[in-house]
Amino acid sequence: MAIDTRGETAGKPSGEKKTRTSPALFYRQVVNELRKVIWPTRKDLITYTTVVLVFVLIMVGIVYGFDTALGWVILKVFGGG
């Protein structure tokens, strides 16, 4: 659970026992923080998702290429297949 840092325990030294917030207060704080979040629009979300998928596909291609090339080199050096 979260530690209450704005109430009466805020000024106490760290050696003293801190009190925990209640689940209801914690929930209210979480909801309050989520209201501050600037959520992406649908267009932004589609753009971000597309960029990530394209990047991942490019990286998969690069890793596949290196793996295939190194496998070919290893087979040539050590005489397999």
Considering the domain architecture, whether residues 32 and 44 belong to the same structural domain is answered as: no
Residue 9 in this model has a pLDDT that exceeds 60:
no
| Spatial distance between the Cα atoms of 73 and 1, rounded to a whole number of angstroms | 55
pLDDT tens readout for residues 22-53? 999 999 999 999 999 999 999 999 999 999 99
d(Cα 59, Cα 11) in Å, to the nearest integer? 50
Confidence class of residue 19 from pLDDT cuts 50, 70 and 90? confident
- Those residues whose C-beta lies under 8 Å from the C-beta of residue 3, and which sit 6 or more positions away, are 9, 18, 19, 20, 21
Shared domain check, 69 and 53:
yes
In this structure, the answer to whether residues 45 and 31 fall within a common structural domain is no
Per-residue pLDDT band at 15 (split at 50, 70, 90): low
> Does residue 80 share a domain with residue 44?
yes
- Is 76 found in the same domain as 44? yes
Whether 1 and 31 map to the same domain: the answer is: yes
Structural domains counted in the chain: 2
Query: pTM of whole model > 0.85?
Result: no
Give me the pLDDT at residue 7, please: 58
Residue 78 is part of which domain span?
A: 40-81
